[in-house]
Amino acid sequence: MDSSHMPRRPRPGPFDRPAAELGHAPEGVGRMNSMGIGAPLARIEDIRLVTGNGRFANNVTVPGQLRGYVLRSPLGHARIRSIDVSGALEVPGLVAVLTGEDYARDGLGDMPCVSIPPTIKGGAYVPTPFPALAVDTVRCVGSEVAFVVAETLSAAVEAAERIVVDYEPLPVAPTLEAAIAPGAPLVWPDAPGNRCFYHELGDAAACDAAFDGAAHVVKGRIRNQRVAGNPLEPRTCIGRYDPADGRFHLTSSTANPHRLRLLLSEHIFRIPAHRIHVVAGDVGGGFGTKGGLYPEEILVLWAAWRVGRPVKWVCERSEAFLADFNGRDQIADAEMALDADGRVLGLRVEVNHNLGSALGPSTAHPPLVGTRMLSGVYAFPAMHVKINGIFTNSRTLTTYRGAGRPEATLIVERMLDLAAEKVGLDPVEIRRRNFIRPEQMPYRTAIGETYDCGEFEAVTDAALALADWDGFEARRRTSEGRGLLRGRGLSCYIEVCATLSDRMEVRFDSSGCVSILAGTFSYGQGHETTYAQMVHDWLGVPLDQIRFVQGDTDIIATGRGSFGSRSMTVGGSALRKACENLIAMGARLASLMLDVEPEALDFVDGSYVWTAGDRRSVPLTEVAKTSFAWRGSAAYNSGPPRQIPADLWSGLEGVGHFSANPQNYPNGCYVAEVEVDPETGQVRVDRIAGVDDVGTVINPLLLEGQVIGGCAQAVGQVLLEAVVHDAEGQVLSGAFTDYGMPRAEDFPHMVLSNRPVPTQTNPLGVKGGAETGTIGLPPAILSAVLDALRPLGVRDLSMPLTPMKVWAAIDAASSAPVSKENS
Amino acid sequence: MIEVTIAVNGIEQRHQVEDRTLLVEFLRDQCGLTGTNIGCDTTQCGCCTVHVDGRAIKSCTLFAAQVDGAEVVTIEGLGQPENLHPMQAAFRRHHALQCGYCTSGMIMQGVDIVRRGRAVDEATIRHELEGNFCRCTGYQGIVEAIAEVARTAPESCKASGDAA
Ligand code: FES
Ligand code: FES
């Protein structure tokens, strides 16, 4: 072949970008030459992020921009009698003060809730008006009361301080416990018992029958506390209205620009989507909490339209503790029926989930999706689940990494631990007796979820080996010698991933480089790298000739963002289809160039090859360049020039769509060992090991990072973190000084591995990999702490396991004459 | 308003600022160096860590006026895309960042830990990172990256005033 048509690799020039390189390979990953799927490629996006060139929203300054500041409710529940803004109007630099009355007058819509399906029991729920600025009533501390716009932030703050709001305090039910108590104050008058919705899964009669025949029944109450997502980048948004094109332009730290456009267009401004332009650059984490719509995103656009200048709002960290939507917050009452051998006959669960004071876009997602996973990795023959969505005078609930699945896993695993104790079985053995076996796949659980594949006992054995489960006793004695109690715990989990559809596009430019236009949205997950690895493999284009584009609703036709560990499955599979479509389109042009029928050409290593013939070939990149030819003839090597048909003569591109139906089920097992100081109640996590089955691995370096990061959030929740309210609804955990953010010292070196059972439910065989640690690890740590404290008679603890709480439990157990039966 | 002069990444920056202007605001707003991030309002997170006269310090804890005449190095001054500092390269190799928001501060702190000879073992590095939060990575890659630089390129972390 004529070598002049090979992709040329000139010497590095002055404008060249740093080359792709492999990163530090996680243990168990062999050396490889490829940079494609499976390689521990160092991230492409890191180049800008390690050099301070990140494009975070707060780095954007728009000429003429004003600053916005939100005046928030200082009370947990109150009627607004009046708002007097006259003092604020005198502050120099003030531009506007907007209140809920203005909002209503301008006809803006309410924050929508799009997470309660029509299939909810009874077909109805209690909806909540949720304007971006409160009218009449505030229902939690931090509710938006007024939006102040000024030349500078300090002027806006000063003006806000001069607004006089006359509140009439109302009774407060700030927590789940308070809101479900008999006679609790009502958050919404039309929601008796503070119940927004009720839903059921499973079969009550079958479950009753199972309990009737049980040899053992265990009961437990499992509290999963409220936590704050706390992505390190505080939320930020800049709104601009352009009279020249009549469009609203929003730059936001959102984790889901297209969803934002859709919600703003459909529910808030009620204008065509093309009149709203949303851009998100680099986003500093989100973990689910930045993926919906927030009042401030509405406020900056609306204010910009009203005052005729751009408006920027930047959340302060302490403000974020009031303004960001929270995660978790569930009380579960569970009962498990077992036969004499420890086989589970039935599981009953009733959950009360705290929805907060008003419904946001994703509020009902955690209780409704998480509960689908209450069968865990086990063959529970009968189940009945009741779900209550409960209003409280606290900030709106939203999805936080795992979103209901950590709650479900904690319930299942905690109940099995209680059952093991009751039946007199080892915690590993009781799980072995109840695992769904590979030969039972596909397995339909008693609450209707169908798992396609998984080898739960094998993955558990792998985790036990990795954790040196059997070597525990020696380590326990060593700890004992140092005056410390050592405990171990394990947890098996399964989750469900890859919801909805998505769209990906690959598009060549005239120099033979390819752009990936992603409908998903990466905010730390590393898609710029993983998608490039895929395209590198599938199209044979060198990595430095691949560009990644996301997050601009004017450039990306549509998309659904990244959450619920969906992107490698849905985005990756759509990308694969996009590449296949591109290859098919290119084959027609290659056929003209090579003078061979398109069907006779194979696509091998980035070239079209006539393998059945004389092996003549042309690289895809050359075909792509030809598609841009100014004069429309195609010729290659000695072939005769041919006229290019119009549809092949305006560039080469491919669009792909995918929706995972059915979804996939990542699973695995985590083991934790802890040391507890009985004198202080201090818990130290000494060892964490885990084995996941997330199917095909695209990039082991990035996968490991996702798993470790998830584990870190698990440790945070189990040991340190909690959003705490007082009886009046004040947030006591309102700053980094009061909220237990995990630090480097809170973790051991984690040992993780992967044991893939690729799924047939998508063309890549991948399962979601971004939430496994957050979902799988917490019960193992809780179990390990209780194991350590067993000799002291401590039988139950609720998260977070702060030294104070552990110490108090030790103290209570030692002063009790007989250790009381767990209830 | 007062006039403050700070040598930032070797370039003299002279600006009129308010008395209460923080160093981080001076860097971001006056100098246009937005690589230094703000993650909190209580000096807990370390996103804003820079080097002042060779030492890591949280730039939200100082008024710009307090460091009048000082030499400041920010993440932009440490290395460039085509010429990464060994710590920046190690962060990349060890996947020590995900969203990248804590990263500027982490890297500046990492360089300081190595400079002070405190990257002696994993436990010490973890302790030295006490003032820097990362919500994404679980810190493991960060600890590995700092340990690697301490092993392979400690001299790259010396400040200009340090003895050779
Ligand atoms: S911004 Fe300086 S420590 Fe958080
Ligand atoms: S990489 Fe996101 S906070 Fe550290």
Nearest CA in chain A to B78: A51
DSSP secondary structure letter of residue A240: E
CB-based contact A523 B138, cutoff 8 Å: no
Domain residue extents for chain A: 452-497+664-821, 500-659
CATH number for the domain harbouring residue B91: 1.10.150.120
Q: How many Å lie between the centroid of ligand 2 and the Cα of residue A253?
A: 14
Statement to judge: residues B22 and B90 lie in one domain:
no
Task: Give the separation between CA A641 and CA A647, rounded to whole angstroms.
Answer: 17
Q: What is the DSSP pairing of strand A501-508 with strand A514-518?
A: antiparallel
Is it true that the peptide bond before A662 is cis, omega within 30 degrees of 0? yes
Is it true that the peptide bond before A174 is cis, omega within 30 degrees of 0? no
What are A359-380's pLDDT values in tens digits? 999 999 999 999 999 999 999 9
Type of residue numbered A683: V
Average pLDDT over residues A772-798: 97
- Establish if B162 belongs to a structural domain: no
Q: Is the CB of A632 under 6 A from ligand 2?
A: no
* Ligand number nearest to the C-alpha of B102: 2
Q: Does B69 touch chain A (CB under 8 A)?
A: no
Q: Is the CB of B137 under 6 A from ligand 2?
A: yes
Nearest CA in chain B to A526: B98
pLDDT exceeds cutoff 90 at A81: yes
Reported CATH class of domain A452-497+664-821: alpha beta
On chain B, the residues whose CB falls within 8 A of the CB of A523 are 99
Mutate to test the pocket of ligand 1, among B22, B26, B28, B40 (most ligand atoms within 8 A of CB): B40
On chain A, the residues whose CB falls within 8 A of the CB of B88 are 50-51
Sheet strand arrangement including A617-619: A602-604, A607-609, A617-619
Q: How many Å lie between the centroid of ligand 1 and the Cα of residue A512?
A: 44
CB A782 within 8 A of CB A496: no
The distance of A444 to chain B (nearest Cα, Å) reads 35
On chain B, the residues whose CB falls within 8 A of the CB of A51 are 35, 75-76, 78-81, 84, 88
Task: Give the separation between CA A473 and CA A465, rounded to whole angstroms.
Answer: 15
A55 band by pLDDT with thresholds 50, 70 and 90: very high
Strand partners, A199: A387
Statement to judge: residues B61 and B110 lie in one domain:
no
A18 band by pLDDT with thresholds 50, 70 and 90: confident
Burial call A362-401: b when 16+ CB within 10 Å, e when fewer: bbbbbbbbbbbbbbbbbbbbbbbbbbbbbbbbbbbbbbbb
Q: How many Å lie between the centroid of ligand 2 and the Cα of residue B149?
A: 20
Strand partners, A251: A238, A279
Distance of CA A269 to the CA centre of its chain: 27
Tell me what pLDDT residue A10 has.
Answer: 53
CB B33 within 8 A of CB B74: yes
- Establish if B62 belongs to a structural domain: yes
Q: Where does a domain end: B32, B53, B78?
A: B78
Average pLDDT, chain B: 96
- Within 10 angstroms of residue A123's Cβ, the number of other Cβ atoms is 8
Q: Is the CB of B101 under 6 A from ligand 2?
A: yes
Tell me what pLDDT residue A636 has.
Answer: 78
A514 band by pLDDT with thresholds 50, 70 and 90: very high
Among the listed residues A655, A661, A291, A698, the one whose alpha carbon sits nearest the alpha carbon of residue A527: A698
- Establish if B163 belongs to a structural domain: no
Query: How many A×B Cβ pairs under 8 Å?
Result: 193
What are B7-16's pLDDT values in tens digits? 999 999 999 9
Q: Is the CB of B95 under 6 A from ligand 2?
A: no
Average pLDDT, chain A: 95
Q: Where does a domain end: B31, B62, B78?
A: B78
Atom 3 (ligand 2) nearest CA: B134
Extract the tokens encoding A513: 């480089």
Extract the tokens encoding A304: 């910009």
- Establish if B142 belongs to a structural domain: yes
Task: Give the separation between CA B154 and CA B112, rounded to whole angstroms.
Answer: 10
CB B109 within 8 A of CB B46: yes
Average pLDDT over residues A486-495: 98
A597 band by pLDDT with thresholds 50, 70 and 90: very high
Average pLDDT over residues A56-82: 98
A170-to-A137, A174, A175 alpha-carbon distances in Å: 9, 12, 15
CB A315 within 8 A of CB A295: no
**ipTM of the predicted structure?**
0.98
Q: Percentage of chain B surpassing pLDDT 90?
A: 96
Q: Where does a domain end: B57, B78, B99?
A: B78
N-term to C-term CA, chain A: 78
What is the CB-side half-sphere exposure of residue A400 using CA atoms within 13 A? 25
Task: Give the separation between CA A807 and CA B1, rounded to whole angstroms.
Answer: 53
pTM for the full predicted model:
0.96
* Ligand number nearest to the C-alpha of B45: 1
Statement to judge: residues B116 and B58 lie in one domain:
no
CB A433 within 8 A of CB A416: no
- Nearest beta carbon to residue B39 from set A23, A232, A525: A232
CB-based contact B101 A54, cutoff 8 Å: yes
In this structure, whether the domain defined by A500-659 belongs to CATH 3.40.50.460 is answered with no
Tell me what pLDDT residue A640 has.
Answer: 79
On chain A, the residues whose CB falls within 8 A of the CB of B76 are 51-52
Tell me what pLDDT residue A821 has.
Answer: 46
pLDDT exceeds cutoff 90 at A196: yes
Statement to judge: residues B49 and B112 lie in one domain:
no
Statement to judge: residues B92 and B30 lie in one domain:
no
CB-based contact B92 A42, cutoff 8 Å: yes
Counted domains in chain B: 2
- Establish if B73 belongs to a structural domain: yes
On chain A, the residues whose CB falls within 8 A of the CB of B135 are 230-232, 285, 287, 712-713, 741
Average pLDDT over residues A435-447: 98
Average pLDDT over residues B71-96: 97
Q: Does B88 touch chain A (CB under 8 A)?
A: yes
- Within 10 angstroms of residue A333's Cβ, the number of other Cβ atoms is 15
CB-based contact A525 B133, cutoff 8 Å: no
Q: Where are the alpha helices (DSSP H) in A555-656?
A: 572-594, 620-627
- Nearest beta carbon to residue B139 from set A231, A524, A747: A747
CB A578 within 8 A of CB A515: no
What are A688-729's pLDDT values in tens digits? 999 999 999 999 999 999 999 999 999 999 999 999 999 999
Type of residue numbered A73: S
What are A137-169's pLDDT values in tens digits? 999 999 999 999 999 999 999 999 999 999 999
Statement to judge: residues B15 and B59 lie in one domain:
yes
Query: Hey, is A369 helix, strand or coil?
Result: helix
Task: Give the separation between CA A542 and CA A433, rounded to whole angstroms.
Answer: 50
- The dihedral through the CA atoms of A320, A325, A327, A333 has a sign that is positive
Residue B35's domain comprises 2-78
CB A623 within 8 A of CB A540: no
Tell me what pLDDT residue A565 has.
Answer: 84
Mutate to test the pocket of ligand 1, among B26, B28, B58, B109 (most ligand atoms within 8 A of CB): B58
Burial call A657-677: b when 16+ CB within 10 Å, e when fewer: ebbbebbbbbbbbbbbbbbbb
Task: Give the separation between CA B88 and CA A133, rounded to whole angstroms.
Answer: 44
Q: Does B41 touch chain A (CB under 8 A)?
A: yes
Q: Does B94 touch chain A (CB under 8 A)?
A: yes
Statement to judge: residues B93 and B35 lie in one domain:
no
Sheet strand arrangement including A311-314: A94-99, A144-150, A66-72, A311-314, A236-242, A247-252, A276-279
CB-based contact A42 B95, cutoff 8 Å: yes
What are B104-143's pLDDT values in tens digits? 999 999 999 999 999 999 999 999 999 999 999 999 999 9
pLDDT exceeds cutoff 70 at A67: yes
- Establish if B60 belongs to a structural domain: yes
Q: How many Å lie between the centroid of ligand 2 and the Cα of residue B101?
A: 5
A579 band by pLDDT with thresholds 50, 70 and 90: very high
CB-based contact B125 A750, cutoff 8 Å: no
Statement to judge: residues B103 and B69 lie in one domain:
no
Q: At which residue do the structure tokens 């139950």 appear?
A: A796
CB A300 within 8 A of CB A239: yes
Strand partners, B55: B52
User: Relative to the CA of B61, which ligand 1 atom is closest?
Assistant: 2
Extract the tokens encoding A3: 């070598």
| Cβ < 6 A, ligand 1 pocket | B 38-40, 43-48, 58, 60
